[in-house]
Amino acid sequence: MSTSSDNDMRPKVILITGCSYGGIGEALTMQLYRMGHRVFATMRSLSESAVFMPHQTDANVPSLTWLPLDVTDEESIKKCVANLTSMNGGRLDILINNAGIGYSAPLLDADMAQAKKVFDVNYFGVLAVTQAFAPMLIESKGRVVNISSIAEFSPVPWLGVYNSSKAALGMFSDTLRLELQPFGVKVINVLTGGIKSNMNDNNVKAAIGPESFYYPNKTEIERIIRGEVSLKHQTSRELFAAKVAKHILSKNPSAQLLAGEKSTSMWLLSKVGGTIWGLFLPRMFGLKNLKPNVEETMARRDEKEELVRAAAGEPFVPLPHIDPDSSLSWSSEPDSTM
Protein backbone atom coordinates (compact mmCIF):
# COMPACT_ATOMS: atom_id res chain seq x y z
CA MET A 1 0.00 0.00 0.00
CA SER A 2 1.32 3.44 -0.94
CA THR A 3 1.17 5.88 1.94
CA SER A 4 1.79 9.58 2.51
CA SER A 5 4.79 8.77 4.66
CA ASP A 6 6.22 6.36 2.07
CA ASN A 7 6.33 8.97 -0.69
CA ASP A 8 6.93 12.33 0.94
CA MET A 9 7.91 14.04 -2.34
CA ARG A 10 4.87 13.11 -4.43
CA PRO A 11 1.99 15.58 -4.79
CA LYS A 12 -0.56 15.17 -2.05
CA VAL A 13 -4.32 14.98 -2.37
CA ILE A 14 -5.73 17.62 -0.04
CA LEU A 15 -9.30 18.52 0.87
CA ILE A 16 -9.95 21.87 2.55
CA THR A 17 -13.23 22.99 4.11
CA GLY A 18 -14.40 26.59 4.32
CA CYS A 19 -12.69 28.02 1.23
CA SER A 20 -14.87 31.09 0.69
CA TYR A 21 -13.29 34.10 -0.98
CA GLY A 22 -11.20 36.37 1.24
CA GLY A 23 -10.63 33.85 4.01
CA ILE A 24 -7.66 31.77 5.07
CA GLY A 25 -9.21 28.78 3.31
CA GLU A 26 -8.74 30.60 0.01
CA ALA A 27 -5.13 31.39 0.89
CA LEU A 28 -4.41 27.76 1.80
CA THR A 29 -6.09 26.58 -1.40
CA MET A 30 -3.98 28.80 -3.65
CA GLN A 31 -0.75 28.14 -1.73
CA LEU A 32 -1.08 24.35 -1.93
CA TYR A 33 -2.33 24.46 -5.53
CA ARG A 34 0.68 26.54 -6.62
CA MET A 35 2.97 24.06 -4.88
CA GLY A 36 1.67 21.40 -7.26
CA HIS A 37 -0.69 19.46 -5.03
CA ARG A 38 -4.12 18.07 -5.96
CA VAL A 39 -6.48 20.32 -4.04
CA PHE A 40 -10.19 19.86 -3.48
CA ALA A 41 -11.50 23.18 -2.17
CA THR A 42 -14.94 23.12 -0.61
CA MET A 43 -17.52 25.74 0.32
CA ARG A 44 -21.24 25.92 0.89
CA SER A 45 -21.92 27.85 -2.33
CA LEU A 46 -19.87 27.04 -5.41
CA SER A 47 -20.89 30.34 -7.01
CA GLU A 48 -18.15 31.98 -4.93
CA SER A 49 -15.46 29.86 -6.61
CA ALA A 50 -15.67 31.97 -9.77
CA VAL A 51 -14.07 34.84 -7.86
CA PHE A 52 -10.88 32.81 -7.49
CA MET A 53 -10.31 32.27 -11.18
CA PRO A 54 -8.33 35.47 -11.83
CA HIS A 55 -5.75 34.18 -9.32
CA GLN A 56 -5.04 31.11 -11.47
CA THR A 57 -2.99 30.77 -14.63
CA ASP A 58 -5.50 28.28 -16.04
CA ALA A 59 -9.01 27.98 -14.70
CA ASN A 60 -9.37 24.45 -16.06
CA VAL A 61 -6.31 22.84 -14.50
CA PRO A 62 -7.13 19.40 -13.05
CA SER A 63 -5.11 20.00 -9.88
CA LEU A 64 -7.78 22.26 -8.39
CA THR A 65 -11.39 21.19 -8.01
CA TRP A 66 -14.28 22.93 -6.27
CA LEU A 67 -16.78 20.84 -4.37
CA PRO A 68 -19.92 21.89 -2.48
CA LEU A 69 -19.82 21.09 1.23
CA ASP A 70 -21.82 22.27 4.19
CA VAL A 71 -20.09 20.81 7.25
CA THR A 72 -23.33 20.98 9.26
CA ASP A 73 -25.34 18.95 6.72
CA GLU A 74 -25.02 15.15 6.83
CA GLU A 75 -26.22 14.68 3.25
CA SER A 76 -23.82 17.33 1.96
CA ILE A 77 -20.92 15.54 3.65
CA LYS A 78 -21.95 12.20 2.13
CA LYS A 79 -22.12 13.75 -1.33
CA CYS A 80 -18.68 15.29 -0.90
CA VAL A 81 -17.23 11.89 0.02
CA ALA A 82 -18.92 10.35 -3.02
CA ASN A 83 -17.61 13.14 -5.29
CA LEU A 84 -14.05 12.70 -4.06
CA THR A 85 -14.31 8.95 -4.49
CA SER A 86 -15.57 9.20 -8.07
CA MET A 87 -13.05 11.88 -9.07
CA ASN A 88 -10.01 10.55 -7.30
CA GLY A 89 -10.64 6.91 -6.49
CA GLY A 90 -11.08 7.68 -2.80
CA ARG A 91 -7.51 8.78 -2.18
CA LEU A 92 -6.94 11.53 0.41
CA ASP A 93 -3.66 12.44 2.07
CA ILE A 94 -4.54 15.55 4.05
CA LEU A 95 -7.84 16.83 5.43
CA ILE A 96 -7.79 20.49 6.49
CA ASN A 97 -10.72 21.36 8.73
CA ASN A 98 -10.81 25.10 8.19
CA ALA A 99 -14.53 25.95 8.09
CA GLY A 100 -15.50 28.09 11.04
CA ILE A 101 -17.62 31.04 12.12
CA GLY A 102 -17.24 33.70 14.77
CA TYR A 103 -19.65 35.31 17.16
CA SER A 104 -19.01 38.40 19.28
CA ALA A 105 -21.26 38.93 22.29
CA PRO A 106 -21.05 39.00 26.08
CA LEU A 107 -21.84 35.53 27.37
CA LEU A 108 -24.76 36.86 29.39
CA ASP A 109 -26.26 38.35 26.22
CA ALA A 110 -25.49 35.48 23.84
CA ASP A 111 -28.31 34.28 21.63
CA MET A 112 -28.66 30.54 22.25
CA ALA A 113 -29.55 29.70 18.64
CA GLN A 114 -26.46 31.53 17.38
CA ALA A 115 -24.27 29.97 20.07
CA LYS A 116 -25.39 26.49 19.02
CA LYS A 117 -24.71 27.36 15.37
CA VAL A 118 -21.13 28.30 16.27
CA PHE A 119 -20.59 24.91 17.90
CA ASP A 120 -22.34 23.15 14.99
CA VAL A 121 -19.78 24.59 12.58
CA ASN A 122 -16.63 24.93 14.72
CA TYR A 123 -16.85 21.63 16.59
CA PHE A 124 -19.55 19.22 15.45
CA GLY A 125 -18.87 20.03 11.79
CA VAL A 126 -15.21 19.14 12.25
CA LEU A 127 -16.16 15.90 14.00
CA ALA A 128 -18.63 14.93 11.26
CA VAL A 129 -16.26 15.67 8.37
CA THR A 130 -13.35 13.89 10.07
CA GLN A 131 -15.48 10.80 10.66
CA ALA A 132 -16.59 10.78 7.01
CA PHE A 133 -13.09 10.99 5.54
CA ALA A 134 -11.28 8.92 8.19
CA PRO A 135 -11.26 5.67 6.14
CA MET A 136 -9.39 7.44 3.32
CA LEU A 137 -6.90 9.00 5.72
CA ILE A 138 -6.27 5.71 7.49
CA GLU A 139 -5.71 4.04 4.12
CA SER A 140 -3.12 6.65 3.14
CA LYS A 141 -1.67 7.10 6.65
CA GLY A 142 -2.46 10.74 6.08
CA ARG A 143 -2.95 13.84 8.19
CA VAL A 144 -5.78 15.76 9.82
CA VAL A 145 -5.13 19.49 10.14
CA ASN A 146 -7.49 21.47 12.36
CA ILE A 147 -7.42 25.23 12.01
CA SER A 148 -8.04 26.39 15.56
CA SER A 149 -7.19 29.68 17.25
CA ILE A 150 -5.31 31.16 20.17
CA ALA A 151 -8.86 31.76 21.43
CA GLU A 152 -8.84 28.16 22.64
CA PHE A 153 -6.59 29.13 25.56
CA SER A 154 -7.09 32.91 25.93
CA PRO A 155 -10.34 34.08 27.61
CA VAL A 156 -10.79 37.20 25.49
CA PRO A 157 -13.96 39.00 26.63
CA TRP A 158 -16.94 39.26 24.27
CA LEU A 159 -15.79 36.14 22.38
CA GLY A 160 -16.80 33.59 24.98
CA VAL A 161 -18.89 31.37 22.72
CA TYR A 162 -16.22 31.36 20.00
CA ASN A 163 -13.45 30.81 22.56
CA SER A 164 -15.31 27.83 24.00
CA SER A 165 -15.84 26.25 20.58
CA LYS A 166 -12.14 26.52 19.82
CA ALA A 167 -11.21 25.13 23.24
CA ALA A 168 -13.40 22.13 22.41
CA LEU A 169 -11.62 21.84 19.06
CA GLY A 170 -8.24 21.87 20.80
CA MET A 171 -9.23 18.97 23.04
CA PHE A 172 -10.70 17.21 20.00
CA SER A 173 -7.31 17.46 18.28
CA ASP A 174 -5.39 16.17 21.28
CA THR A 175 -7.72 13.21 21.77
CA LEU A 176 -8.00 12.37 18.07
CA ARG A 177 -4.21 12.39 17.82
CA LEU A 178 -3.98 9.58 20.36
CA GLU A 179 -6.85 7.61 18.87
CA LEU A 180 -5.41 7.75 15.33
CA GLN A 181 -1.81 7.08 16.35
CA PRO A 182 -2.15 3.28 15.93
CA PHE A 183 -3.18 3.85 12.31
CA GLY A 184 -0.26 6.10 11.44
CA VAL A 185 -2.43 9.20 10.96
CA LYS A 186 -1.01 12.46 12.29
CA VAL A 187 -3.20 15.22 13.75
CA ILE A 188 -1.98 18.81 13.67
CA ASN A 189 -3.64 21.67 15.55
CA VAL A 190 -2.97 25.13 14.08
CA LEU A 191 -3.29 27.88 16.68
CA THR A 192 -4.11 30.92 14.59
CA GLY A 193 -3.39 34.44 15.75
CA GLY A 194 -4.38 37.68 14.03
CA ILE A 195 -4.83 37.12 10.28
CA LYS A 196 -5.90 39.74 7.75
CA SER A 197 -8.99 38.07 6.30
CA ASN A 198 -12.71 38.62 5.88
CA MET A 199 -13.58 36.67 9.03
CA ASN A 200 -14.35 39.77 11.07
CA ASP A 201 -16.64 41.06 8.31
CA ASN A 202 -18.55 37.77 8.35
CA ASN A 203 -18.78 37.42 12.13
CA VAL A 204 -22.12 37.89 13.83
CA LYS A 205 -21.77 40.84 16.18
CA ALA A 206 -24.24 41.43 18.98
CA ALA A 207 -25.48 44.89 19.90
CA ILE A 208 -25.40 45.87 23.57
CA GLY A 209 -29.06 46.53 24.34
CA PRO A 210 -30.57 48.47 27.28
CA GLU A 211 -31.31 45.18 29.07
CA SER A 212 -27.63 44.21 29.09
CA PHE A 213 -25.65 44.53 32.31
CA TYR A 214 -22.89 45.98 30.10
CA TYR A 215 -25.06 48.78 28.71
CA PRO A 216 -23.27 51.54 30.71
CA ASN A 217 -20.16 50.86 28.61
CA LYS A 218 -22.03 50.14 25.37
CA THR A 219 -19.98 52.48 23.13
CA GLU A 220 -16.56 51.11 24.07
CA ILE A 221 -17.64 47.47 24.09
CA GLU A 222 -19.33 47.68 20.69
CA ARG A 223 -16.21 49.32 19.28
CA ILE A 224 -14.21 46.33 20.50
CA ILE A 225 -16.80 43.87 19.20
CA ARG A 226 -16.54 45.49 15.75
CA GLY A 227 -12.84 44.61 15.78
CA GLU A 228 -11.46 48.13 15.91
CA VAL A 229 -8.80 47.00 18.39
CA SER A 230 -7.85 43.52 17.16
CA LEU A 231 -7.75 44.46 13.45
CA LYS A 232 -4.71 46.67 14.05
CA HIS A 233 -2.44 43.65 14.53
CA GLN A 234 -2.66 41.07 11.77
CA THR A 235 -0.51 38.83 9.57
CA SER A 236 -1.25 38.55 5.85
CA ARG A 237 -3.17 35.47 4.70
CA GLU A 238 -0.40 34.64 2.24
CA LEU A 239 2.32 34.50 4.91
CA PHE A 240 0.05 32.45 7.14
CA ALA A 241 -0.75 29.98 4.35
CA ALA A 242 2.90 29.57 3.41
CA LYS A 243 3.86 28.80 7.01
CA VAL A 244 1.02 26.32 7.48
CA ALA A 245 1.70 24.57 4.16
CA LYS A 246 5.40 24.14 4.93
CA HIS A 247 4.60 22.69 8.34
CA ILE A 248 1.86 20.23 7.42
CA LEU A 249 3.85 18.92 4.45
CA SER A 250 7.05 18.38 6.42
CA LYS A 251 8.16 14.82 7.13
CA ASN A 252 7.73 15.01 10.91
CA PRO A 253 5.50 17.97 11.78
CA SER A 254 4.96 18.89 15.40
CA ALA A 255 1.47 18.35 16.79
CA GLN A 256 0.93 22.08 17.23
CA LEU A 257 1.70 25.11 15.09
CA LEU A 258 1.51 28.74 16.16
CA ALA A 259 0.83 31.02 13.19
CA GLY A 260 -0.36 34.60 12.96
CA GLU A 261 0.11 37.87 14.81
CA LYS A 262 0.60 37.54 18.58
CA SER A 263 0.04 33.77 18.52
CA THR A 264 3.38 33.02 20.20
CA SER A 265 3.15 35.78 22.81
CA MET A 266 -0.41 34.80 23.77
CA TRP A 267 0.62 31.14 24.01
CA LEU A 268 3.51 32.06 26.32
CA LEU A 269 1.18 34.14 28.50
CA SER A 270 -1.15 31.16 28.81
CA LYS A 271 1.68 29.16 30.35
CA VAL A 272 2.07 31.67 33.20
CA GLY A 273 -1.29 30.76 34.69
CA GLY A 274 -4.92 31.82 34.68
CA THR A 275 -4.41 34.90 36.86
CA ILE A 276 -2.32 36.62 34.16
CA TRP A 277 -5.40 37.28 32.04
CA GLY A 278 -7.06 39.31 34.80
CA LEU A 279 -4.14 41.72 34.84
CA PHE A 280 -4.50 43.15 31.33
CA LEU A 281 -7.53 41.76 29.44
CA PRO A 282 -10.12 43.75 31.47
CA ARG A 283 -8.32 46.98 30.61
CA MET A 284 -7.98 46.09 26.92
CA PHE A 285 -11.59 45.01 26.47
CA GLY A 286 -13.60 47.69 28.22
CA LEU A 287 -14.17 46.00 31.58
CA LYS A 288 -11.82 48.10 33.69
CA ASN A 289 -13.89 51.23 33.16
CA LEU A 290 -17.27 49.53 33.43
CA LYS A 291 -19.54 51.17 36.02
CA PRO A 292 -22.52 48.85 36.23
CA ASN A 293 -25.86 50.08 37.41
CA VAL A 294 -27.57 46.84 38.40
CA GLU A 295 -30.74 48.49 39.72
CA GLU A 296 -31.45 50.35 36.46
CA THR A 297 -30.59 47.30 34.39
CA MET A 298 -32.94 45.07 36.35
CA ALA A 299 -35.72 47.64 35.96
CA ARG A 300 -35.24 47.67 32.17
CA ARG A 301 -35.19 43.88 32.07
CA ASP A 302 -38.42 43.71 34.10
CA GLU A 303 -40.04 46.23 31.78
CA LYS A 304 -39.15 44.20 28.71
CA GLU A 305 -40.28 40.93 30.29
CA GLU A 306 -43.59 42.53 31.31
CA LEU A 307 -44.24 43.64 27.71
CA VAL A 308 -43.43 40.18 26.37
CA ARG A 309 -45.74 38.47 28.84
CA ALA A 310 -48.50 41.01 28.30
CA ALA A 311 -48.38 40.32 24.56
CA ALA A 312 -48.72 36.60 25.35
CA GLY A 313 -51.52 37.21 27.82
CA GLU A 314 -49.47 35.95 30.75
CA PRO A 315 -49.14 37.50 34.21
CA PHE A 316 -45.83 39.06 35.20
CA VAL A 317 -44.43 38.90 38.71
CA PRO A 318 -41.02 40.56 38.99
CA LEU A 319 -38.37 38.81 41.02
CA PRO A 320 -37.28 40.56 44.22
CA HIS A 321 -34.08 42.53 43.78
CA ILE A 322 -31.63 41.98 46.60
CA ASP A 323 -29.81 45.00 47.94
CA PRO A 324 -26.07 44.32 47.49
CA ASP A 325 -25.51 45.76 50.99
CA SER A 326 -28.08 43.50 52.63
CA SER A 327 -27.31 40.41 54.70
CA LEU A 328 -28.70 38.24 51.88
CA SER A 329 -25.90 39.19 49.49
CA TRP A 330 -22.62 37.35 49.11
CA SER A 331 -20.22 38.03 51.94
CA SER A 332 -16.49 37.51 52.18
CA GLU A 333 -16.87 36.76 55.89
CA PRO A 334 -16.46 33.05 56.77
CA ASP A 335 -19.58 31.14 57.76
CA SER A 336 -19.25 30.42 61.48
CA THR A 337 -21.70 27.51 61.22
CA MET A 338 -19.41 25.47 58.98
Extended strands (E) in the chain: 13-16, 38-43, 64-68, 94-97, 103-104, 143-149, 186-192, 195-196, 204-205, 235-236, 256-259
**Cα separation of 270 and 160, whole Å?**
16
What length does the chain have? 338
pLDDT of residue 7: 42
Lowest mean pLDDT among 136-150, 229-243, 301-315: 301-315
**Cα separation of 70 and 326, whole Å?**
53
Q: What is the mean pLDDT of residues 120-136?
A: 98
- List the chain domain ranges: 13-284
**Cα separation of 242 and 296, whole Å?**
52
Q: Which residues are catalytic?
A: 162, 166
User: Per CATH, which fold does 13-284 belong to?
Assistant: Rossmann fold (3.40.50)
Residue 333: how many other CB atoms lie within 10 Å: 6
Average pLDDT, the chain: 84
Cα 74 from chain centre: 20
Backbone angles phi, psi at 133, to 5 degrees: -100, 0
Using CA atoms, how far residue 246 sits from 31, 35, 224, 253, in Å, is 10, 10, 33, 9
Give the strands of the sheet with 256-259, arranged side by side. Answer: 64-68, 38-43, 13-16, 94-97, 143-149, 186-192, 256-259
* pLDDT at residue 287 tops 70: yes
* pLDDT at residue 247 tops 50: yes
By C-alpha distance, which of 143, 131, 132 is closest to 95? 143
pLDDT digits (tens, 9 = 90+) for 25-42: 999 999 999 999 999 999
Pick the more confident residue, 164 or 230: 164
